[in-house]
A and B are shown apart, each in its own frame.
Chain A
Amino acid sequence: MSPHLILRVVSKLLIPMIVVFGFYVQFHGDFGPGGGFQAGVIVAAAVILYALIFGMEEARKAIPPVVARIGAATGVLLYAGVGVATLFMNGAGEPLNFLDYDALHPDQGHHTGQHYGILLVELGVLCTVASVMLAIFYAFAGRVPDIRDEDW
């Protein structure tokens, strides 16, 4: 099981870097192009690369499909949770609306509240997008192929 030695070694080096780059894109989304969508896809791509090189069984062992399902739901809950939290955190007395980030850190310039809000929401997006991408990959790649690999 070592015909792909170079691939395995190189991908072992690459996968952590891909994940780190994914988080860079995630957190750089505050200052420039980037954000949860792109970062989620990049993080999922790291796992998909792992599955391509080491096989589906190994990938399933590393990240079971149920984790993808839980992650997708958690991301949505995090996003919506921020919205619901803003409903109950009307600090200054006047009622704030759904997803009004100012509630998270009320100050005059309403700068930090927006900052926290977008950070949390983007984390939810990262979580859901990465999980959904992975779930889609598992769903398609996990099927029993009609033609065996040897018969190609």
Chain B
Amino acid sequence: MDMLASLLPAGAAVHAPALIVVVPLIAAAIAALMPRGPWAWGVTLVTAIVVAVLSLVLLGQVSTGGVISYAMGGWPPPWGIELRVDMLNVPLLLLVGIVGLLCVIYALPSVADEIGPRKEALFYSAFLVCFAGLLGVTITGDAFNVFVFLEISSISTYTIIAMGAAKDRRALTASYNYLVLGTIGATFFVIGVGFLYMATGTLNMADMAVILEANGHNRVTQAAFAFIVVGLGLKAAMFPLHVWLPNAYAFAPNFVTAFLASTATKVAFYALIRFVFSVFHPDVSFVSMSFTWLFAVVGVVAMMVASVQAVFQTDARRLLAYSSVAQVGYMMLGLGMGTAAGLSAGLLHLMNHALMKGALFMALGAFALNFGVRRVKDLAGLGQTMPASAMAFTVAGLSLVGVPLTVGFTSKWYLVTAALDRGWWWAVAALMISSLLALAYVARLLAAIWMETPPSHHGEIAKRRLAPWMVLAPMGILAVANVYFFFHADPLVGLARAAADAVMGGQ
């Protein structure tokens, strides 16, 4: 990290918290000015590299120097807007930065295939705005600023999802439904923040926590809690509020799906953790009640119902989208345990899930790029025609099930251990059943890929086709990471544990 920091221009390390949000925003404006798509992609790539480096620098600073507080415009908190980096959000910054970089490498061939050439530059511009918004939600320490960045990322997400209309017009209705639900969610969140502001007179989250602890809670703060949980739950696709997700992921451009599936819901989930644990305290009675009776229950139901729905899907990407809803259930369960072990298991699953789903959606994108397939039965024989992509898909798929030797096993193991510590046998049973259901839907995909023969056109079997290296490389890296982090689990587990300790006060 120190080596990276020394590469940056002098002072950039000090201003890293501001730059990590500002650089993508500036780049978005520059990308919009670019006359041709590939140039805009170049701008995007440079930005993604800068963001990844800055996130590593921030990790180095936080792990050695503790919490970083950066006052925007020189107005000290709690008056001004504060950017705050601690052990909880640094893993999220890393996740968005690095997975974002891999997705951007993947983007060039995929976007050129799916988006009209005249729209490419604006598409990358919208993507960069979304990228900046997600980083902003993660890094800001101001409650209202969370709303602003959340909407910055969401509005640009609606547009880039709708760009899938070039391939399938249902992207438009999917995006519209996401827009209506997403806006309701954001408005609920803003109502909650308004109530908190009424009760505390501040918008700075750390200041809010102090005042709430000193003054105690009343009905205003309880209402605020309910509104914030529902609002952020909608953005994070918490179970009954997930209806926007499957279609949005199924019809968006492949690159967008890969990026959103591994970052967007994760960031909303982070914001939920930040509010539930840092602003409200887990010891407060209504908060701790919500763990057992809301998050854990909703998580378990999501694991079951969404997995069952996934088994019966015909569209491969919608199948994985339902699986994402189920995986959010795992994270909710981890959060709902209300213990440091549970929360760190949930966060670990959050990071691992980004690795798996990133690789899976990228592989589906590669299949779509070469053969234009999107339904489960069309995957037949891809093991013979596209062996490299099929291998990456298989590894990530097995990781999704939780087979040993993959990261999926690691995070499920930690979840089971945390549930046993808590004495929640029913949660362990639910985890097992849900994993079996995951096996069922992943097996459908894998059986089609490996066991069936490739379709033949006029008696001629489809030829073997290699995906472009820009697709293969990021996909391969993510697939290898799925195995690598099983054997070297310490970095991710350490990050997750430090994050949980940071919010739980080292209980």
Q: Which residues of A contact B (CB under 8 A)?
A: 69-70, 72-74, 76-77, 80-81, 83-84, 87-88, 90, 95-102
Q: Is B72 an interface residue (CB 8 A)?
A: yes
Whether B18 contacts A97 by the Cβ 8 Å rule is yes
Chain A contacts for B28, CB-based, 8 A: 76
The answer to whether A98 and B26 have CB atoms under 8 Å apart is no
Q: How far is the CA of A69 from the CA of B122 in the complex (A)?
A: 10
Chain B residues with Cβ below 8 Å from A98 are: 15, 18-19, 22, 70, 72-73
Q: Which of B29-37, B138-146, B437-445 contacts A (4 or more CB under 8 A)?
A: B29-37
Interface SS of chain A: helix
Chain B minimum-CB-distance residue to A101: B73
How far is it, in angstroms, between the C-alpha of A151 and the C-alpha of B299 when the chains are bound? Answer: 56
Q: Does B11 contact A (CB under 8 A)?
A: yes
Q: Which residues in A have their C-beta under 8 angstroms from that of B15?
A: 87, 95, 97-98
Q: Does B74 contact A (CB under 8 A)?
A: yes
The smallest beta-carbon distance between A74 and chain B, in angstroms, is 8
A81–B27 alpha-carbon span in the complex (Å): 12
Q: Count of B residues near A, CB < 8 Å?
A: 18
Q: How many residue pairs bridge A and B at CB < 8 Å?
A: 56
Report the bound CA distance from A93 to B425 in whole Å. Answer: 61
| Residues of chain B contacted by A81 (CB below 8 angstroms) | 26
Partner of A95, one of B14, B19, B29, B33: B14
Please measure, in the bound complex, the distance between the C-alpha atom of A16 and the C-alpha atom of B22, giving whole angstroms. Answer: 36
Known pairs A87-B15, A97-B70 / 7 extra A-B pairs, C-beta < 8 Å: A76-B25, A76-B26, A87-B11, A95-B14, A97-B71, A98-B18, A98-B73
A63 to chain B, nearest CB (A): 17
CB neighbours of B29 from chain A (8 A): 72-74, 76-77, 80
Q: Of all chain B residues, which has the CB nearest A74?
A: B29
9 residue pairs A–B, Cβ–Cβ below 8 Å? A77-B26, A77-B30, A80-B29, A81-B26, A95-B11, A97-B74, A98-B19, A98-B70, A100-B74
CB pair B25–A72 under 8 Å, yes or no, is no
B15, B22, B25 pick with most chain A CB within 10 angstroms: B15
A97 surroundings in chain B (CB, below 8 A): 15, 18, 70-74
Report yes or no: B32 in contact with A99, Cβ–Cβ below 8 A.
no
Residues in B neighbouring A77, C-beta threshold 8 A: 26, 29-30
Give the nearest-CB partner of B83 in chain A. A98
Structural contact, A99 and B73, CB atoms closer than 8 A: yes
Please measure, in the bound complex, the distance between the C-alpha atom of A99 and the C-alpha atom of B28, giving whole angstroms.
19
Least CB distance from B39 to A in Å reads 14
In the assembled complex, which residues on chain A have CB atoms less than 8 Å from the CB atom of B11?
87-88, 90, 95
Cα(A72)–Cα(B32), bound, Å: 9
The complex places the Cα of A97 from the Cα of B30 at a distance, in Å, of 23
How far is the CB of A19 from the nearest CB of chain B, in Å? Answer: 24
A100 touches which one: B14, B32, B73 (CB < 8 A)?
B73
In this complex, what residue of A is CB-closest to B9?
Answer: A88
Chain A residues closer than 8 Å to B32, beta-carbon distance: 69, 72-73
Q: Measured between alpha carbons, how far is A97 from B18 in the docked complex, in Å?
A: 8
Residues of the B chain whose Cβ atoms lie less than 8 Å from the Cβ of A101: 73
How long is the Cα–Cα vector from A77 to B14 in the complex, in angstroms? 22
What is the distance, in angstroms, from A87's C-beta to the closest C-beta of chain B? Answer: 6
Kindly report which residue of chain B lies nearest to residue A77, judged by CB atoms.
B29
Cβ-defined contact, A84 with B22, below 8 A: yes
- Chain A nearest CB, measured from B507 CB (Å): 34
